[in-house]
Structure 1
Amino acid sequence: MSIFLILLLVAAMIAVVVVFVRGLVVFLANATEEAKNGGTGPSASALKSNKMMQYRIFFQAIAIVIVVLLLMLAGKG
């Protein structure tokens, strides 16, 4: 069971990094776009960047829950 949770934790951590890098790339592209266009409200790129950061927070929460479960299992053993 703990091996399964460790694999889930690694997968969640990889997902956090992937989503973070993707969100950062979208954010940088958005900043360049807004600088050129004058920033007239949220663009599609800005909304996508926001969604990527929401996914990052979601995957971080999953990773934290898995760590808590691993610590609870380690305390019982």
Structure 2
Amino acid sequence: MNPFLILVLVVLMGMVVVSLVRGIATFLKSTRTDLESPNSSGPSEMQLKQNKLMFQRILYQGAAILLVALVLFSKR
């Protein structure tokens, strides 16, 4: 496998882990904040940040899967 593609794959996998951890930390923080605050309408700032981080994780995972598929198909 091309060393450049391996490096890109490792970076993408690292970004998946980083965005997952940040999303979980934001989720825990937003849960605490939501429990302590009075009821309000609409999503809070922390919930919007959590959605953004989880969407980033999905994008990184998709890119990593596409890269692996590209590598597998190029080996044929």
Q: Which runs of 5+ in 1 are unaligned?
A: none
* RMSD between aligned residues: 1.3
Return closer, same or farther for 1:14/1:46 CA change in 2, 3 Å cut-off.
same
Counterparts of residues 19-58 of structure 1 (less than 5 Å): 19-40=19-40, 41-58=42-59
Question: In structure 2, what is the Cα distance between the partners aligned to 1:50 and 1:7?
Answer: 28
- Give the ranges of 4+ consecutive aligned residues of structure 1 lying more than 6 Å apart after TM superposition: none
How many residue pairs match? The answer is: 75
Larger helix share, 1 or 2: 1
Q: Which runs of 5+ in 2 are unaligned?
A: none
Report the TM-score when normalising by structure 1.
Answer: 0.90
Match of 2:65, as an amino acid?
A: I
Question: In structure 1, what is the Cα distance between the partners aligned to 2:70 and 2:28?
Answer: 36
Report the TM-score when normalising by structure 2.
Answer: 0.91
Question: In structure 1, what is the Cα distance between the partners aligned to 2:13 and 2:24?
Answer: 16
Question: 1:46 deviation in Å?
Answer: 0.6
| Secondary structure of 2:75's aligned partner | helix
